[in-house]
């Protein structure tokens, strides 16, 4: 009987051993040196494929601590996502000061020229959840954590220099309005719905920001090609305690670049991670993104002479009024080792500043100083979130704060208070520590708003009238698109009425696009809009750089494509600073020289809208075949519709004809690589009115 029991047990054991043996064999085939798999307590795991059971077909045993730990940790892997800015990506880098501001501040990061300060930068969208797409029409967050010698400084801003509201008390209402409508749970990552525009129609102070949000700034081509703004006025304090106001600006070395709306929509479907992938590929290829840090500096007396209130976050300071001074540069040169541990857990707060920098009385900024800390406590679950490596200062820090959930440090000594006399090395306040500026106020308490905040339309008009003609058309078309999704007629009418204060022609274009009979009345304005001189610095198209650096060229090829032409285009694009990728119907392709190449993308899964310019090199037979292929036709027709340069040879002509590709300065002979590179550096804006009905 005992012998039979032994035999019964040995057969399943043998089968289990065989299964484990197959797994071991696969691990060995994979190669490499693998550390032993352990539990969180460091206990080696012998079998990670089978839970502990009471027999091969019996129940799983509660004593299986390997299973319990693994499942428990998995069940708790998600933390609450950010209420706003949930969809984001980030990278490590450094800041290097190139011009000292010692006349204005004691902050070492702004006084020590040549010093490189490590940092972590996170980019994000605002409205969508963590699982939304990269390319909606939305504001982009631009937050930088500097790990300075004097503590962490967080410069937390956006790619737009103004905001929707003037007071932080309105922020929950703004976000509730733009988020998914609570009764239906959609739309996701979109402002084109009733609740948002209802709120906007009743919030005149948002008009300036709406102009920016409906511009091409809200559909950037790449995170490497956006500006960043601290939005608020801050103060710089020098050694004498003297104060100078400052606004911070980030300027991309690659220049500004946007998509067009149809392209942004299609990118969302073709590659929801398009901008995240773009940043990752650039950094891993060694093409490190770089921004210049610029500052606008002005005194209290100069601020009083401005025709607006600089403490109003819905206003900007035109560069023609206060020129930008470039004082440093930021380089992003390292991708995070773990997305969750770093990009997801990084916690920014505008209240994190260093000695020599201070706050202004901007009421939106004042509310942010509270809100960010509060939301990090909720999201990261502990007052000790600053001990997470990505959040921890890289300079020494010491205080008497103790204990709390997930305390990872081991403070020593008996003293956890101050003043004290029992411990020689306990932390003490220091005369060189942070000091706040002595800001005078009128001493009158009340829920009031300054009269200097009452002009809601002058700068909105300035922004619109400063744009180029194509950009104005894009803004009008964006407003038509957004408002066409609004179901409630009186909301549409109220928004168009507001637009009359900005520009009568803009209001008429939007009304016509919505099929309105006449213009709705303009609501009363507390302050009538004034005409300011146009500011070319507010344009996007006008600020695009004449370069291909940081851009990507796609070359569509097939078996038999002319190898010499392909190589010449690759060489020219690479020399111009662009990356170059081959696209083919199959991932393997044999060119005319008989050499077989691996394509970078398969045609059906690599549409032209992931490139900045395209070339089509085909022999006669391939051109005829692809002229009947829907993916190939879309490849060229979308490139044409998205105003991109297209180079082609004789064999490609049937395909271009099938895609209804016309003729203009952006359509060039593939044999002329120089002409192609010139055309590829910009969109063909003159083509646009011929292709689509713009408002």
Give the tens place of pLDDT for each residue, 464-511.
999 999 999 999 999 999 999 999 999 999 999 999 999 999 999 999
30 pLDDT tier (thresholds 50, 70, 90) = low
- Taking CA atoms, 165 is separated from 338, 453, 553, 584, 607, in Å, by 35, 11, 40, 49, 39
Query: Is the model's pLDDT at 25 over the cut of 80?
Result: no
| Angle value at C-alpha 462, between 460 and 466, nearest 5 degrees | 120
Q: For residue 310, indicate whether it is catalytic.
A: no
Task: Tell me what the mean pLDDT of segment 675-685 comes to.
Answer: 97
Give the tens place of pLDDT for each residue, 534-546.
999 999 999 999 9
Catalytic residue among 27, 48, 76, 85: 85
Residue 631 CB contacts under 8 Å (≥ 6 apart), including other chains: 603, 604, 607
Q: Delineate the domains of the chain, giving CATH numbers in brackets.
A: 2-28+37-75 (4.10.91.20), 88-198+206-387 (2.40.180.10), 457-542 (1.20.1370.20), 548-691 (3.40.50.880)
Nearest alpha-carbon partner for 165 in 371, 415, 417 = 371
Query: Is the model's pLDDT at 568 over the cut of 60?
Result: yes
Question: What pLDDT shows up at residue 443?
Answer: 74
C-alpha 222/C-alpha 278 separation (Å) is: 7
Query: Is the model's pLDDT at 21 over the cut of 50?
Result: no
Task: Tell me what the mean pLDDT of segment 360-371 comes to.
Answer: 94
Tell me what the pLDDT averaged over the chain comes to: 93
Nearest alpha-carbon partner for 293 in 142, 150, 103 = 142
Strands 552-556 and 613-616: parallel
Task: Tell me what the mean pLDDT of segment 92-96 comes to.
Answer: 98
Nearest alpha-carbon partner for 626 in 584, 596, 670, 685 = 584
Q: What HEC string does 108-119 produce?
A: HHHCCCCCEEEE
Residue 133 CB contacts under 8 Å (≥ 6 apart), including other chains: 87, 189, 268, 272
Please count the other Cβ atoms lying within 10 Å of the Cβ belonging to residue 25.
Answer: 10
Catalytic residue among 50, 92, 152, 158: 158
Q: For residue 158, indicate whether it is catalytic.
A: yes
Give the tens place of pLDDT for each residue, 389-436.
999 999 988 888 899 899 999 989 999 888 989 998 889 888 888 888
28 pLDDT tier (thresholds 50, 70, 90) = low
27 pLDDT tier (thresholds 50, 70, 90) = low
pLDDT over 90 percentage in the chain: 87
Query: Is the model's pLDDT at 2 over the cut of 60?
Result: no
Give the tens place of pLDDT for each residue, 269-317.
999 999 999 999 999 999 999 999 999 999 999 999 999 999 999 999 9
């Amino acid at each position: 009987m005992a012998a039979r029991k032994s035999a019964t047990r040995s057969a399943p054991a043998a089968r289990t051993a065989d299964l484990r043996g197959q797994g071991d064999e696969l691990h060995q085939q994979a190669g490499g040196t693998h550390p032993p798999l352990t539990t969180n307590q460091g206990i080696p795991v012998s079998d990670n494929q089978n839970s502990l059971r009471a027999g091969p077909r019996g129940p799983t045993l509660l004593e299986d601590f390997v299973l319990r730990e693994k499942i428990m940790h998995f069940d708790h892997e998600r933390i609450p996502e950010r209420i706003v800015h949930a969809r984001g990506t980030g990278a490590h880098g450094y800041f290097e000061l190139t011009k000292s501001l010692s006349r204005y501040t004691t902050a070492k990061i702004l006084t020590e020229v040549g010093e490189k300060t490590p940092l972590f930068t996170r980019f994000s969208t605002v409205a969508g959840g963590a699982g939304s797409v990269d390319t909606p029409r939305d504001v982009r967050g631009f937050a930088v954590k500097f790990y300075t010698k004097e503590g962490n400084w967080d410069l937390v801003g956006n790619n737009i220099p103004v905001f929707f509201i003037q007071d932080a008390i309105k922020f929950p209402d703004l976000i509730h309005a733009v988020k998914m409508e609570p009764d239906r749970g959609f739309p996701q990552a979109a402002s084109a719905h009733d609740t948002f525009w209802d709120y906007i129609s009743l919030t005149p102070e948002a008009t300036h920001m709406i102009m920016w949000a409906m511009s091409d700034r809200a559909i950037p081509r790449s995170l490497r090609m956006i500006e960043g703004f601290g939005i608020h006025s801050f103060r710089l304090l020098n050694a004498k305690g003297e104060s100078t106001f400052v606004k911070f600006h980030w300027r991309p070395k690659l220049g500004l670049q946007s998509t067009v709306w149809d392209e942004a929509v299609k990118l969302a479907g073709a590659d929801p991670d398009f901008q995240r992938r773009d940043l990752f590929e650039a950094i891993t290829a060694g093409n490190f993104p770089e921004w210049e840090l610029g500052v606008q500096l002005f005194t209290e007396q100069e601020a009083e002479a401005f025709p607006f209130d600089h403490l109003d976050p819905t206003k900007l300071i035109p560069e023609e009024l206060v020129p930008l001074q470039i004082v440093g540069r930021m380089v992003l040169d390292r991708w995070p080792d773990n997305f969750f541990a770093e990009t997801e857990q990084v916690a920014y707060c505008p209240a994190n500043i260093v000695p020599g920098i201070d706050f202004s009385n901007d009421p939106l900024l004042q509310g942010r100083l509270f809100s960010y800390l509060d939301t990090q406590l909720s999201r990261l679950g502990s007052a000790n979130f600053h001990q997470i490596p990505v959040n921890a200062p890289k300079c020494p820090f010491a205080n008497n704060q103790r204990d709390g959930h997930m305390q990872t440090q081991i403070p020593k000594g008996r003293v956890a208070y101050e003043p004290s006399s029992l411990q020689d090395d306990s932390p003490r306040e220091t005369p060189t520590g942070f000091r706040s500026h002595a800001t005078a106020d009128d001493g009158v308490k009340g829920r009031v708003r300054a009269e200097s905040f009452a002009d809601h339309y002058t700068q909105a008009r300035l922004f619109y009238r400063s744009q180029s003609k194509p950009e104005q058309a894009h803004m009008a078309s964006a407003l038509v698109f957004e408002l066409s999704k609004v179901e409630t007629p009186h909301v549409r009418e109220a928004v168009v009425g507001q637009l009359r204060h900005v520009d009568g022609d803009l209001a008429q274009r939007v009304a016509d696009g919505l099929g309105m009979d006449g213009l709705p009345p303009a609501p009363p304005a507390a302050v009538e809009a004034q005409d300011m001189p146009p500011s070319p610095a507010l344009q996007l198209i006008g600020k695009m750089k004449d370069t291909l650096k940081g851009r990507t060229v796609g070359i569509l090829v097939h078996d038999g494509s002319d190898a010499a032409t392909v190589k010449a285009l690759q060489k020219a694009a690479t020399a111009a600073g662009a990356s170059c990728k081959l696209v083919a119907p199959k991932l393997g392709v044999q060119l005319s020289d008989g050499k077989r190449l691996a394509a970078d993308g398969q045609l059906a899964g690599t549409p032209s809208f992931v490139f900045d310019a395209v070339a089509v090199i085909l022999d006669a037979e391939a051109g005829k075949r692809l002229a009947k292929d829907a993916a190939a036709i879309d490849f060229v027709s979308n490139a044409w519709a998205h105003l991109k340069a297209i180079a082609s040879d004789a064999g490609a002509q049937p395909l271009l004809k099938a895609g209804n590709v016309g003729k203009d300065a952006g359509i060039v002979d593939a044999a002329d690589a120089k002409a192609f590179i010139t055309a590829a550096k910009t969109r063909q804006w003159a083509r646009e009115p011929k292709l689509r009905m713009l408002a």
